[in-house]
Amino acid sequence: MMLGFLLLWVGAVLFLNGLWLLGKIEDREIVVINIVSGLVAAGVVIKSVFGTAADAESIRAGALTLLFATTYFWIAHNRVTGVDGRGLGWFSLFVAITLIPVILRAYAGVGAGGSFWLATNWLIWAALWFMYFLLLALGRPILKATAWATLVAGIVTGWLPGMLLLDGMM
C-alpha cells in the first residue's frame, strides 16, 4: 500500500512538472506540488529507513526514494530562488548513473518474483533524470521533449500504477 501511496504522488508531481515545463503552470505555483510530493516521499523514507520494520530491503528502498524527494525539494528551491538549475542537472546525472545497477538488478529479478513494470519504471525514471541532466547542466535544447517525457512518465509510472495499487488491482 505504501508503494501505491508514493507512486500516486510521484505521478502527480511528474504530470504537473511536465505541464510546468510546457509553460502551462507558473514557476511560483509549481513549488506547492514539489514541496508536498517531497514531504510525502520524505515521510516514506523515514518510515522505510527508521521504522520498526526497517530491514536491508526497506533501507535500500528508502535510499532510492530519497533521490525523488531531493529532486522535488530542489525543483521547489530553484523556483523560489530563481537559480538556473545547473546543480539539479548534475544531481540528475548522479541519479541516472546510480540507477543503472538498480535497473539491472530489477530486470534480473523479474523471473524470481520481481516485477517487470517496476523494473521498467526505474528505466523510465533514469532516462528522465538523464534528460534533466542534458537540459539543465548541458543546456541541450530538449525542453519540449523533456516536458512531454515528464508528463507521460507521471501517468505511466506514477499515477496509473499508484491508483491500481491503492485499489488492490495490482
pLDDT per position as a tens digit, 32-75: 999 999 999 999 999 999 999 999 999 999 999 999 999 999 99
Contact 17, 30 (CB under 8 A): yes
Q: Where are the domains of the chain?
A: 1-167
Please state the pTM of the whole predicted model. 0.95
Mean pLDDT, range 26-31, rounded to an integer: 95
Mean pLDDT, range 91-114, rounded to an integer: 92
Distance CA 19, CA 13 (A): 10
The dotted CATH code for 1-167 is 1.25.40.600
The predicted structure's pLDDT at residue 115: 87
Mean pLDDT, range 85-105, rounded to an integer: 97
DSSP string, 77-142: HHHHHT--SHHHHHHHHHHHHHHHHHHHHHHHTGGGT--HHHHHHHHHHHHHHHHHIIIIIS--S-
Tens digits of residue pLDDT in 63-92:
999 999 999 999 999 999 999 999 999 999
Tens digits of residue pLDDT in 107-141:
999 876 668 999 999 999 999 999 999 999 999 99
Distance CA 33, CA 153 (A): 16
The predicted structure's pLDDT at residue 96: 98
- Determine the residue type at 1: M
The predicted structure's pLDDT at residue 113: 64
